[in-house]
Amino acid sequence: MQQTLILLKPDAVQRRLVGEITGRFERKGLRLAGLKLVQAPRALAEQHYAVHKGKPFYDSLLAFLTSGPTVAMVWEGREAVAVCRTLMGLTDGAKAPPGTIRGDLALSVQNNLVHGSDSPENAALEVALWFPEGLVSVAGVDAQWVG
């Protein structure tokens, strides 16, 4: 069963959109496999966005991700990585289509509410990074709902 790491970034928490956004993943039929509120230390943010090191927006991005609490979640189900990226919409809220999280709720390119892993390989790395303590085992609990 495929897993993906989803972050509700500090703007989502600050704007009181945690329920709205979480509900979209939940209603899609994905299964919640991890959930916690994290004040990301700088080192965690650096590791998470290491691929963007050196880009013009990197420093601003790290300041943003460490600016307040983030909700870290693991969702699992059939094609979970791609399904979540589709639900999120394009990076830039101004370009993301209506019906997506960013398309409906974001206008900024940086403050775009959510992060989702972009491949199953990166998902495994990111789940381990944000949940080093491991996950509760939920496999088999309600397999009929997750594709």
| Binding site, annotated residues for ATP | 9, 57, 85, 91, 102, 112
Q: Is residue 115 a contact residue for ligand RTP (CB under 6 A)?
A: yes
CB of 37 to ligand RTP, least distance (A): 18
Q: Is residue 118 a contact residue for ligand RTP (CB under 6 A)?
A: yes
Which residues are catalytically annotated? 115
Q: Is residue 79 a contact residue for ligand RTP (CB under 6 A)?
A: no
Q: Which of 61, 124, 125, 138 binds ligand RTP (CB under 6 A)?
A: 61
Beta bridge partners of 74: 5, 34
Q: CA 5 from chain center: how many Å?
A: 5
Alpha helices in the chain (DSSP H): 10-14, 18-28, 42-48, 58-65, 80-88, 101-105, 120-130
Q: Give the span between the Cα atoms of 54 and 111, in whole angstroms.
A: 19
Which residues contribute to the site for ligand RTP (CB under 6 A)?
Answer: 52, 57, 61, 91, 109-110, 112, 115-116, 118
